[in-house]
């Protein structure tokens, strides 16, 4: 049986009013497709075997949808909705499947306690867990040029990394470890270090380094909103500035996000709007 629906807090806008009405059904379908699969991997009290079985059933229905066959899983409505948009906009089905690869990897890593050896391994994971969303969005908008895709990959990877570093207080109790072993090595700490059990100053240095890396990654693609026309360009500005604002919130916590998860407030929302109006990044 599928898990119960979960209400999610989101720091980043999803299919907001800035998104043109003609694209909103596609954006919403894509979001719910990814969110549902992520919940299968992450929410509830199911064991890893059950989670992987659900994700495999989900994957098989995606293959059926691509082939135009009847869907059979409990999530058929969600998959049918994204399939309709995939056919309408000629989306790359492989990008949709890469998301499922990432969620399955999450289940296996969490169950086994496996960690990422280095930052390259973590970025490879982001290529499957985050970058497909940006690529699919560009396809929906008819803006999937090579340079735009490269910039989008930087933004999506940065958002994924920022999400990791703001969620440390949530992930550590779940035995989900995203800090690469090479980072611990660089700080002369043993692999799989738990930030809750080391000197605070050492943990702060690690988080500060990771957050700065994510900011730099974001800035490499931050020019993209300036070449995306209309309201979607403004939507993307808000995503970029919202992500960067979360990094500032982590900094305000003294980089102690393993103790408390930062949130974006209404006051932050106003600040993000002002920064969008004075957007500092250009190609």
Give the integer Cα–Cα distance in Å for 126 and 14: 19
Q: What is the pLDDT of residues 54-89, one digit of tens each?
A: 999 999 999 999 999 999 999 999 999 999 999 999
> Last residue of a domain, which of 59, 85, 114?
114
The parent domain of residue 247 ranges over 117-283
Does some domain include residue 236?
A: yes
Same domain, residue pair 38 and 152: no
pTM over 0.75: yes
Backbone angles phi, psi at 82, to 5 degrees: -70, -30
Positive or negative, the Cα torsion across 39, 105, 263, 245?
Answer: negative
Same domain, residue pair 56 and 145: no
Domain count, the chain: 2
Does some domain include residue 9?
A: no
Same domain, residue pair 182 and 64: no
Does some domain include residue 79?
A: yes
Does some domain include residue 3?
A: no
Q: Check whether 14 has a pLDDT greater than 60.
A: no
CATH code, domain with 173: 1.10.600.10
Same domain, residue pair 168 and 263: yes
Give the integer Cα–Cα distance in Å for 131 and 237: 17
Q: What is the pLDDT of residues 95-153, one digit of tens each?
A: 999 999 999 999 999 999 899 999 999 999 999 999 999 999 999 999 999 999 999 99
Higher pLDDT, 20 or 221: 221
Same domain, residue pair 167 and 190: yes
> Last residue of a domain, which of 114, 147, 173?
114
């Amino acid at each position: 049986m599928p898990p119960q629906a979960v209400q999610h807090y989101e720091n980043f806008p999803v299919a907001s009013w800035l998104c043109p009405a003609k694209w909103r059904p596609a954006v919403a379908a894509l979001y719910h497709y990814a969110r549902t699969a992520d919940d299968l991997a992450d929410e509830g009290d199911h064991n890893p075997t059950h989670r992987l079985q659900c994700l495999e059933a989900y994957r098989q229905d995606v293959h059926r949808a691509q082939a135009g066959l009847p869907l059979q899983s409990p999530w058929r409505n969600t998959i049918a909705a994204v399939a309709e948009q995939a056919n309408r906009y000629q989306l790359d089905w492989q990008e949709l499947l890469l998301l499922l690869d990432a969620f399955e990897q999450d289940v296996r890593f969490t169950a086994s306690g496996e960690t990422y050896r280095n930052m390259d391994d973590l970025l490879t994971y982001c290529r499957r867990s985050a970058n497909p969303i940006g690529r699919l969005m560009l396809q929906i908008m008819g803006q999937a040029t090579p340079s735009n895709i490269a910039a989008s990959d930087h933004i999506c990877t940065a958002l994924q990394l920022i999400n990791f570093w703001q969620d440390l207080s949530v992930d550590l109790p779940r035995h989900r470890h995203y800090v690469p072993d090479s980072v611990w090595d660089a700080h002369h700490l043993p692999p799989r270090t738990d930030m809750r059990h080391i000197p605070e100053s050492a943990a702060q240095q690690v988080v500060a380094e990771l957050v700065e890396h994510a900011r730099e990654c974001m800035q490499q693609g931050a020019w993209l909103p300036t070449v995306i026309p209309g309201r979607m360009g403004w939507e993307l500005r808000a995503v970029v500035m919202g992500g960067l604002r979360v990094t500032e919130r982590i900094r305000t916590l003294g980089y102690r996000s393993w103790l408390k998860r930062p949130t974006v407030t209404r006051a932050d929302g106003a600040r993000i709007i002002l920064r969008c109006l004075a957007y500092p990044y250009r190609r």
